[in-house]
Chains A and B, each alone.
Chain A
Amino acid sequence: MKKKALLRINVLLGAASLALAGCHSSKPVPQTPKDENPSDTTKVQPVKPDPEVYVKYGIPPAFNLYE
């Protein structure tokens, strides 16, 4: 129960701190296919990075890609 509560609190804290720090205030992060116009970011899906799985010498998170 406590674990669930902490998890929920952390989701809120994470969202609030990122918003306040302006981490997402820059332009959307494009995963632009090469054959599309890179300047047209409306066509592409923004990547939502998970800070908890992004470490030095590490790798970008495999967001929703696992079957």
Chain B
Amino acid sequence: MRLRLKIALWLERWRRHNLKELHPLRQLFWESTLRCNVHCLHCGSDCIASIETPDMPAEDFLKVIDTEVTPHVDPHEVMIVISGGEPLMRKDLAEVGRALKQRGYPWGMVTNGLALTEKKFHELLDAGLRSITVSCDGLEADHVWLRQHPLAFEGATRAIKLIADYNSRQHSAVSRQHSAVSRQHLAVSRQPIAWDVVTCVNQRTIDHLPAIREMLWELGVRNWRVFGIDPMGRAAENPELILMDAQFKQLMDYIVCEREAGRHVSYSCEGYLGDYEGRVRDHLYQCAAGISVASILIDGSISACTSIRGKYYQGNIYKDSFWSVWENGFKPYRDRSWMRQTEPCKDCKAFSFCEGNGMHLRREDGSLMLCHLKKLSAVSRQHSDIA
């Protein structure tokens, strides 16, 4: 490993240590519904219980915001992420968004785009939507296969174009703001929105990445986030979805190439990547779950990222004080030394930097379901064996 990178990782470790002590709440996920209009083969939230599980009433969530969160934070510094299921399945999404905006919280959402009509998009913008991610998992045939809906690709690309066109118009307005008239116009018009496209790369799509990138850029995308699918939820039953070790390395090398060409392609936040750190993301690896990220799940459970196993839930808003849980709970998240006792972390020299990989990759029994570094190391070993 490069010396500069090693020093950077040590400094990052120090920063993370401080951050654990501070544990400022910066991102709050709300699993607002388990209902969904597609049936993804890789669904991490495993929305099987969607029919039986009702949406959380908006007033329950807003009550937590008002009584437990707002008194302790600057709302402008806490991003609320409305997740699902598919958030657009909620009819009151704009109402909730408006309520958050009135309280000063920026909010955003992740969507498959299928239900994002122009009217709905503008309704959400008026309600304070500040950030949106659209899922697009490949070219048409692969996306439809993964999403299990014949119109999934049409929906995703229509949504992408809608957002790209909107942002293009807003950026143009910003660039004209030198005139007093335009400034006045801007004061009443909307701002550009932060957005990107996220892609789950799998065995079917790994060789199509350049074509997918070209298609997305043609639609106006300039921020593209990719990740491999983890063996959880429905994906655990479908090995074709999980990248082989060599394919995972292929993905890393592809991202490096794109970034060197000046295109903003990133690997998602998950997974310590060894020598690829600093080359495939805008930041060094850290799992912020329970340190600056919390979530309120559909049944009121208090957790961090929404895909974390039930064993690590820290409380429930219907029984516990959210803020008390945030301040005094989350011990296994903020002190991860227990992961040192698990395989394959026991004798791993990278543990200081990785700290046991992401919390969402820990099974109920504490073991790690996926080590990104091990995947990359396996390929290097194969290469050296051949040599």
Q: Which residues of A contact B (CB under 8 A)?
A: 3, 6-7, 9-10, 13-14, 16-24, 26-35, 38, 41, 43-44, 47, 49, 51-63, 65-67
Contacts and interface: CB of A to CB of B under 8 A. Distances in A.
Interface of B: 4-5, 7-9, 11-12, 14-15, 18-19, 21-22, 26-27, 29, 44, 76, 79, 81, 83, 104, 106, 108-110, 130-133, 164-165, 167-168, 171-172, 175, 191-196, 198, 217, 220, 222-223, 227, 259-262, 264, 268-270, 277-279, 281-284, 286, 288-289, 292-293, 305-307, 358, 360
A51 B288 CA distance: 9
Given A33-B171, A62-B108, A20 B8 contact: yes
Q: Which 8 A-B pairs have the closest CB atoms?
A: A51-B283, A21-B278, A27-B262, A62-B130, A20-B8, A21-B8, A13-B15, A33-B171
A31 B170 CA distance: 11
Nearest to A13: B15
Contact of B284 (A17, A29, A35, A47): A17
Contact of A23 (B269, B278, B293): B278
A9 B15 CA distance: 8
B278 A57 contact: no
Given A20-B11, A66-B104, 13 more contacts: A7-B22, A13-B14, A14-B12, A20-B7, A27-B262, A30-B264, A34-B168, A34-B220, A35-B172, A56-B227, A59-B108, A59-B194, A60-B195
A47 B223 contact: yes
A26 to B, nearest CB: 5
Contacts of A56: 227, 268-270, 305, 307, 358, 360
A33 B307 contact: no
B43 to A, nearest CB: 11
Contacts of A66: 76, 104, 106, 130
B18 A6 contact: yes
Contacts of A6: 18, 21-22
